[in-house]
Amino acid sequence: MNKVTITIDNQQVKVNEGITVLEAARELGIDIPTLCYLKDINEVAACRMCLVEVKGSRNLQASCVIKVSEGMEIKTNTKKVREARKANLELILSNHDRECLTCDRNGNCELQTLSDELGVKDIPFEGEKTCKPVDTSSPSIVRDANKCILCGRCVSVCEKVQTVGVLGFRDRGFETTVGPAFEKGIGEVPCINCGQCIAVCPVGALREKNNLDYVWDAIEDEKKHVVVQTAPAVRAALGEEFGLPMGTRVTGKMAAALKRLGFDKVFDTDFAADLTIMEEGYELLGRINNGGTLPMITSCSPGWIKFCEHYFPEFIDNLSTCKSPQQMMGAVIKSYYAEKNNIAPKDIVVVSVMPCTAKKFESGREELSVKGIQDVDYAITTRELAKMIKEARIDFVNLPNEDFDDVLGESTGAAVIFGATGGVMEAALRTVAEVVTGKELEKIDFEQVRGTEGIKEAEIQLGDIAVKVAVAHGTGNARKLLEQVKSGEKEYHFIEVMGCPGGCVAGGGQPHVSAKDRMTKNVMAERAKALYDEDEAKTIRKSHENPMIKKIYEEYLGEPNGHKSHELLHTHYVKRGQYL
């Protein structure tokens, strides 16, 4: 790539032609502030925080959009620049709900941080403020327009990354707001509840719907037996809420914290992930051998499922009928576990800790129940669990490592990688390959389906069958892949789709990551590494070898995809309207 010579703050350097001044500055360790900027997603210069002086230009320039050019001379820290940034920030704050102490993002807000860094002490532009009702129409997402700073990040991620596009700018001038068209609530439009809008919001304008009061009340209720389960991806990110480096694996500390919070049993959703592989693997073989609908597409991600129901209803028959691991675990707890321990299912409260806001929607679906009893009662996010731990004054970092409870706490390495894109596919292949061939795999790492590339393809030889597989993460990539299948351009036997970019490790319920960190760190790769490390550390790494999985089939379920399994562990999906 061609280089150009520029001068930034009296440093003469050569940088790649075509990059922005912001990128060039950060390569040199010069930190230019931003609020609206998200690399490759939202580069619109709306907030005007990244202004710089460029020699020869009469006006200050937005460094996130202006490209470097030969001989350019830039100043990032003059009095004129500092005063302009501060004035722009004060204007943003003048129409912002500044109840920081009661805000969901207090202490973890990019606007709050920037106000401190730029030395904002008062707001000289006090005047009329917009006052909008808080939108609580969604089971997963709360939207508060009074905290919105009109940065457009949520609009861009919904449109460009997820290709859902239910958020946009409404009205003009001082009346401008962000939300669905026609003043609709977010629960009244084809939102898929993925929470990626929450993940990129720099303030508290978007947050998950909080279920903690219900969970605390259940724990306090002596008549209820409260069981908690934790998804694979939670262990790869929870530590960030307590100051640990990104990608730190905290499985043992997490189990210890949950026990101290007062849950009656602490189980691992990884057990149900192993169960999902048994059901989904045998379902795939059944479809291949018996002329079933192909390609079969995974059904573990509720955001993806809702996306399919809204935008690709013609593929509903392609979806695996398996419930997600969250729902399978709930169903097993309220049947097998309840019978073994002589507890009435109605007296059991199942709480799920998930990296995903769409799990809140999923847990309330009437299709995901058995005999009128919901599989899961409450789904909380990784962030919500962190709040519980902090509220209980638990010193998380110094907790000992403890194990999950038996029997539903036993899992394999195949289960833990469910949290990363390609993980479900790899886990399934480890089991299906050995079932088909009757031989033990020489190498169980299917690296061709790993990585953060948007769409991955592979052809796996399983005995006499050459199985064509594909993996997509983020619904924008899923859309692209399904359009290729629909047109006949691509043909597969098995497709894994995760609704969030990178899979569950970067789900909408995971700890917030600032735009600055997103620019310098590969969040999905660092968190995924923690899961692959745990997989490698496991003694058993194939779902069908989990002794507790064998036990539940022998004692209760009978056989994979059998009558009992279908009654408890399988479901159906519905066509939904796409338009407003």
| Catalytic member of 240, 280, 426, 534 | 280
| Catalytic member of 90, 208, 279, 362 | 362
Terminal Cα-to-Cα distance of the chain (whole angstroms)? 46
Task: Tell me if residue 320 is catalytic.
Answer: yes
183 φ/ψ angles, rounded to the nearest 5 degrees: 60, 25
CA gap 180, 213 in Å, rounded = 29
| Catalytic member of 90, 208, 240, 283 | 283
CA gap 416, 400 in Å, rounded = 21
CA gap 311, 229 in Å, rounded = 31
What is the full DSSP assignment across 187-228?
A: GGTT-----HHHHH-SSSSEEEPP-HHHHHHHHH-TT-EEEE
Task: Tell me if residue 283 is catalytic.
Answer: yes
Name the CA dihedral angle for 256, 257, 263, 266, rounded to a multiple of 10 degrees.
Answer: -40
CA gap 367, 316 in Å, rounded = 14
User: Nearest-CA neighbor of 229 among 413, 14, 405?
Assistant: 405
| Catalytic member of 63, 299, 301, 320 | 320
Q: How many helices (H) and strands (E) does the chain have?
A: 20, 19
CB 175 within 8 A of CB 80: no
442 φ/ψ angles, rounded to the nearest 5 degrees: -75, -35
CB 142 within 8 A of CB 191: no
| Catalytic member of 191, 300, 308, 356 | 300
CA gap 26, 528 in Å, rounded = 26
Task: Tell me if residue 504 is catalytic.
Answer: yes
| Catalytic member of 299, 504, 534, 542 | 504
Instruction: Tell me the residue type at 272.
Output: A
Secondary structure of 521-556 in the HEC alphabet?
A: CCHHHHHHHHHHHHHHHCCCCCHHHCHHHHHHHHHH
Positions annotated as catalytic residues are: 280, 283, 300, 320, 359, 362, 367, 504
